[in-house]
Amino acid sequence: MSQIIYENDAAILSFDYPYVTNFLTNQIAEHNLEDDSLLLKWLEKTSDDGNQDITITDEDQYEGIEYVGRMMYVIRDLLRDEKGDIYCKTCGRAIALSKLKIRQVTPFDYHKGVDKKAIKRLKKEFGLRGRVRLPGSGGTTFLCDKGHELFGTRDWIT
Protein backbone atom coordinates (compact mmCIF):
# COMPACT_ATOMS: atom_id res chain seq x y z
CA MET A 1 0.00 0.00 0.00
CA SER A 2 1.41 3.39 -0.92
CA GLN A 3 2.07 6.13 1.62
CA ILE A 4 1.85 9.89 1.74
CA ILE A 5 4.87 11.04 3.71
CA TYR A 6 5.45 14.49 5.18
CA GLU A 7 8.92 15.35 6.44
CA ASN A 8 10.24 18.40 8.27
CA ASP A 9 13.31 19.04 10.43
CA ALA A 10 11.68 17.43 13.48
CA ALA A 11 9.65 14.48 12.24
CA ILE A 12 8.56 12.10 9.53
CA LEU A 13 4.80 11.59 9.34
CA SER A 14 3.35 8.90 7.07
CA PHE A 15 -0.22 8.06 6.19
CA ASP A 16 -1.82 5.30 4.14
CA TYR A 17 -2.75 6.67 0.73
CA PRO A 18 -6.33 5.27 0.75
CA TYR A 19 -7.05 6.82 4.14
CA VAL A 20 -5.90 10.28 2.98
CA THR A 21 -7.86 10.14 -0.28
CA ASN A 22 -11.00 8.90 1.53
CA PHE A 23 -10.60 11.70 4.07
CA LEU A 24 -10.34 14.28 1.28
CA THR A 25 -13.29 12.76 -0.59
CA ASN A 26 -15.41 13.10 2.57
CA GLN A 27 -14.21 16.68 3.09
CA ILE A 28 -15.13 17.55 -0.50
CA ALA A 29 -18.60 16.00 -0.12
CA GLU A 30 -19.19 17.88 3.14
CA HIS A 31 -17.60 21.28 2.45
CA ASN A 32 -17.07 21.42 -1.34
CA LEU A 33 -13.72 23.24 -1.04
CA GLU A 34 -11.95 23.74 -4.36
CA ASP A 35 -8.50 23.41 -2.75
CA ASP A 36 -9.42 19.96 -1.42
CA SER A 37 -10.54 18.87 -4.90
CA LEU A 38 -7.33 20.20 -6.46
CA LEU A 39 -5.23 18.55 -3.75
CA LEU A 40 -6.97 15.20 -4.27
CA LYS A 41 -6.37 15.37 -8.04
CA TRP A 42 -2.72 16.29 -7.45
CA LEU A 43 -2.24 13.36 -5.03
CA GLU A 44 -3.86 10.92 -7.48
CA LYS A 45 -1.69 12.13 -10.36
CA THR A 46 1.57 12.34 -8.38
CA SER A 47 1.09 8.89 -6.82
CA ASP A 48 0.06 7.28 -10.11
CA ASP A 49 -3.38 6.60 -8.59
CA GLY A 50 -1.95 5.24 -5.37
CA ASN A 51 0.75 3.06 -6.91
CA GLN A 52 3.74 4.97 -5.56
CA ASP A 53 4.63 6.86 -2.39
CA ILE A 54 4.57 10.65 -2.26
CA THR A 55 6.99 12.59 -0.08
CA ILE A 56 6.17 16.21 0.76
CA THR A 57 8.63 18.34 2.71
CA ASP A 58 8.18 21.73 4.32
CA GLU A 59 10.98 23.05 2.08
CA ASP A 60 9.43 22.00 -1.25
CA GLN A 61 8.30 24.78 -3.54
CA TYR A 62 5.14 23.88 -5.40
CA GLU A 63 4.98 26.71 -7.93
CA GLY A 64 1.48 27.23 -9.26
CA ILE A 65 -0.04 24.60 -6.98
CA GLU A 66 -0.44 26.46 -3.70
CA TYR A 67 -3.30 24.14 -2.71
CA VAL A 68 -0.64 21.60 -1.67
CA GLY A 69 -0.35 23.83 1.41
CA ARG A 70 -3.81 22.53 2.32
CA MET A 71 -2.05 19.22 3.06
CA MET A 72 -0.84 20.67 6.40
CA TYR A 73 -4.45 20.92 7.61
CA VAL A 74 -5.27 17.45 6.32
CA ILE A 75 -2.29 16.12 8.31
CA ARG A 76 -3.49 18.03 11.39
CA ASP A 77 -6.93 16.44 11.12
CA LEU A 78 -5.49 12.96 10.48
CA LEU A 79 -3.27 13.24 13.57
CA ARG A 80 -6.26 14.37 15.64
CA ASP A 81 -8.07 11.24 14.40
CA GLU A 82 -5.01 9.20 15.51
CA LYS A 83 -4.17 8.07 11.98
CA GLY A 84 -0.69 7.64 10.57
CA ASP A 85 2.81 6.83 11.79
CA ILE A 86 5.13 9.31 13.49
CA TYR A 87 8.89 9.28 13.79
CA CYS A 88 10.54 11.87 16.07
CA LYS A 89 13.97 12.74 14.68
CA THR A 90 15.17 14.16 18.02
CA CYS A 91 14.29 10.99 19.93
CA GLY A 92 15.29 8.77 17.02
CA ARG A 93 12.21 6.60 17.45
CA ALA A 94 8.64 5.98 16.38
CA ILE A 95 5.98 7.61 18.56
CA ALA A 96 2.74 5.83 19.35
CA LEU A 97 -0.24 7.95 18.35
CA SER A 98 -1.72 7.40 21.79
CA LYS A 99 1.35 9.14 23.30
CA LEU A 100 1.15 12.14 20.95
CA LYS A 101 0.55 15.41 22.81
CA ILE A 102 -1.55 18.16 21.29
CA ARG A 103 -1.19 21.79 22.28
CA GLN A 104 -3.72 24.25 20.96
CA VAL A 105 -3.71 28.04 21.24
CA THR A 106 -7.12 29.64 20.84
CA PRO A 107 -7.86 33.39 20.60
CA PHE A 108 -8.97 33.26 24.24
CA ASP A 109 -5.71 31.60 25.34
CA TYR A 110 -3.65 34.11 23.38
CA HIS A 111 -5.30 37.19 24.86
CA LYS A 112 -6.07 36.07 28.42
CA GLY A 113 -2.60 37.11 29.63
CA VAL A 114 -2.99 40.68 28.37
CA ASP A 115 -3.03 43.21 31.18
CA LYS A 116 -6.34 45.15 31.18
CA LYS A 117 -4.63 48.19 32.68
CA ALA A 118 -2.22 48.27 29.71
CA ILE A 119 -5.17 48.24 27.32
CA LYS A 120 -6.80 51.14 29.21
CA ARG A 121 -3.53 53.12 29.00
CA LEU A 122 -3.28 52.47 25.25
CA LYS A 123 -6.90 53.49 24.70
CA LYS A 124 -6.36 56.71 26.62
CA GLU A 125 -3.02 57.46 24.91
CA PHE A 126 -4.38 56.96 21.39
CA GLY A 127 -7.91 58.22 22.06
CA LEU A 128 -9.48 54.85 21.21
CA ARG A 129 -13.08 54.03 22.09
CA GLY A 130 -14.87 50.73 22.22
CA ARG A 131 -13.36 47.29 21.94
CA VAL A 132 -9.69 46.95 21.07
CA ARG A 133 -8.75 44.09 18.74
CA LEU A 134 -5.32 42.79 19.57
CA PRO A 135 -3.26 41.14 16.83
CA GLY A 136 -2.19 37.56 17.24
CA SER A 137 -2.25 34.07 15.87
CA GLY A 138 -2.64 30.57 17.16
CA GLY A 139 -2.89 27.02 16.10
CA THR A 140 -2.25 23.41 16.82
CA THR A 141 1.12 21.88 17.73
CA PHE A 142 1.84 18.16 18.03
CA LEU A 143 4.58 16.99 20.38
CA CYS A 144 6.11 13.62 21.13
CA ASP A 145 5.80 12.18 24.63
CA LYS A 146 9.19 13.76 25.50
CA GLY A 147 7.93 17.23 24.53
CA HIS A 148 9.68 17.65 21.16
CA GLU A 149 7.64 19.70 18.68
CA LEU A 150 6.92 17.55 15.64
CA PHE A 151 4.37 19.40 13.53
CA GLY A 152 2.13 22.42 13.75
CA THR A 153 -0.38 24.54 11.89
CA ARG A 154 -1.44 28.16 12.16
CA ASP A 155 -5.19 27.92 12.53
CA TRP A 156 -6.17 31.55 13.01
CA ILE A 157 -4.81 35.08 12.68
CA THR A 158 -6.31 38.32 14.00
For the chain, the structural domain boundaries read 3-98
pLDDT at 135: 57
Non-local (6+) Cβ contacts of 139 within 8 A are 104, 105, 152, 153, 154, 155, 156
Q: Decide which of 48 and 125 is more confident.
A: 48
pLDDT band at 127, cuts 50/70/90? confident
Whether the per-residue pLDDT at 143 is higher than 90: the answer is yes
Bridge partners, residue 57, by sequence: 7
Mean pLDDT estimate for the chain: 85
Q: What is the pLDDT of residue 35?
A: 85
- 68 pLDDT more than 60: yes
